[in-house]
Structure 1
Amino acid sequence: MLDNVWIGIILFTATSFIVGLSGAMVPGPMLTVTISDSLKKGATAGPKIVFGHIITEFILILLIFAGLGWLIGSETAIFVIGAIGGLIMVLMGFQMARSSNSLQDLQKSSETSKGYGPIINGILTSVSNPYFFIWWATVGWAFMLKGIELAGILGVTGFLVGHWCSDLGWFGTVSIFTTKGSNIMKDNHYKIIMSVSGIFLMILGVYFVISSCVV
């Protein structure tokens, strides 16, 4: 009986990893910021962004357990988060697109910085995305309940481990490959990538604002 429980937890964790990975790989704000921060701060940017994302998710989980899941997924919350979050994304994208520093200057400055930027960006890209809250109020919460039904706190832990490992695995990989590419990248390539990333983030922001207004 005990072996069956552990097998169930392992399979549930693996399922959570696959579901989390399928969501993480969809182009969005976190991917854009991971690429831009990795160019400036190196391969550690991806894991730091994920750490900021995990902080946000942990707080959200506590709110859901406190009985606020209905509020997080309400139309009012979607409107407020979409409108404010969309504007934050537009601002982040604008600052990203207008970056005039050279890649070499940014890499040198990152060597002396404390590196809190990616963590903050991980938090910002999470709280400014209305679909992040919708996912946790629906799919995420359903997985949490399934984990509780399966093995209580161990089931919930299995879900979180699988989910967070998928984020760390994907964005960490993106960060490593982006950093390796920056070693042979020229300034004009860097500025093109930053401009495209910034424009994409601004488009997402506008989309979130419009979507929140038509809910």
Structure 2
Amino acid sequence: MDLVGLVVSTVAISVSGALSPGPLTASAVMIGTRRFAKGGLLIALGHMIFEFPYVLIIASLYSSIEFFLKDVNVSYALTFAVSAFILFFSYMVIREGISIIRSEARRMKESKGYAFNPVLIGIALTGLNPYFLLWWLSVGLPLIQLSMSMGFPLLLVMYGAHVWMDYFWLTLMGFAGESGVKILKSKGYGILLIALGLILALFAMNISLKT
């Protein structure tokens, strides 16, 4: 396979995962509602900070990583950690939404007033998600194997062809959150926050039930 074929294969395999709804997507929209559209970009950065070294480790130590992550105890521990993180995040979002509705005042804080760092959100929701970790050991594994068979520089090309979609999608979701809230009154903003918080809670429950 040539370089073009590798890039096309990477995009075709990655697109369903990168553009699918999930905790990262909902978090990017939520942070965007704080008039911090670039928060989506920072979430993508956090995602990459964990994902890129992880891909490199898989390329070197596939069998050991697979054995570790498929251990039942490890899977349960990761599921508990990511579910607890998402549920706490969801609680904070819903609580603020209810507060805004009750006060009838829009409280749009900039990033410096926000309790969660978008980069850390990206790292946590990536590194603690067992389904993301297993995706690279299953669906994404042929991409790693194929690119490594063509030489290490092609692994970097493959990853670049994959990760740009994460940046595009999460940044877009951040801007969508910011743009959407600009047309809402305070009560509408509060309702939007509650809806996003409930969506996050559903993702947490779905992850728990699948394990």
Q: Bin the TM-score by the shorter chain.
A: 0.7 to 0.9
The aligned residue for residue 106 of structure 1 is 108
Task: Quote the offset at 1:23 in angstroms.
Answer: 1.0
Q: 1:55 to 1:25 in 2, by over 3 A?
A: same
Distance 1:142 1:77 in 2: 24
Task: Quote the offset at 1:18 in angstroms.
Answer: 3.3
Aligned counterpart in structure 2 of residue 87 of structure 1, from 80, 84, 89: 84
So what's the TM-score if we normalise by structure 2? 0.85
Q: 1:37 to 1:191 in 2, by over 3 A?
A: same
Distance 2:88 2:45 in 1: 22
- Whether the 8 Å contact between 2:31 and 2:177 is mirrored in structure 1 is no
Distance 1:116 1:209 in 2: 23
Task: Quote the offset at 1:116 in angstroms.
Answer: 7.3
Task: Give me the CA root mean square deviation.
Answer: 2.4
Q: Within 5 Å, which residues of 2 pair with 1:42-57?
A: 42-57=36-51
Task: Quote the offset at 1:113 in angstroms.
Answer: 5.4
Distance 2:192 2:133 in 1: 29
- Partner deviation per Cα, 1:77-121 (whole Å, 9 max, x = no partner): 2222112221221111111111135885333x43x5599711111
Q: What one-letter code is carried by the residue in structure 1 that aligns with 2:161?
A: G
- Quick check: 67-76 or 15-24, which moved more? 67-76
- Partner deviation per Cα, 1:46-99 (whole Å, 9 max, x = no partner): 110000000111232243224532212433322221122212211111111111
Runs of at least 4 residues off by over 6 Å: none
% same residue = 20
Distance 1:128 1:163 in 2: 20
- Whether the 8 Å contact between 2:29 and 2:176 is mirrored in structure 1 is no
Q: 1:210 to 1:115 in 2, by over 3 A?
A: closer
Aligned residues between the structures: 203
Q: What one-letter code is carried by the residue in structure 1 that aligns with 2:33?
A: L
Unpaired segments ≥5 residues, structure 1: none
- Whether the 8 Å contact between 1:89 and 1:128 is mirrored in structure 2 is no
Distance 1:39 1:89 in 2: 18
The aligned residue for residue 118 of structure 1 is 118
- Partner deviation per Cα, 1:165-209 (whole Å, 9 max, x = no partner): 111111122222322222222222221121111112112212222
Unpaired segments ≥5 residues, structure 2: none
Structure 2 residue 55 is the aligned partner of structure 1 residue 58: no
- Partner deviation per Cα, 1:141-168 (whole Å, 9 max, x = no partner): 221111112x211221121001101111
Distance 2:124 2:190 in 1: 23
So what's the TM-score if we normalise by structure 1? 0.83
Structure 2 residue 21 is the aligned partner of structure 1 residue 12: no
The aligned residue for residue 132 of structure 2 is 132
Q: Which has the higher helix share?
A: 1
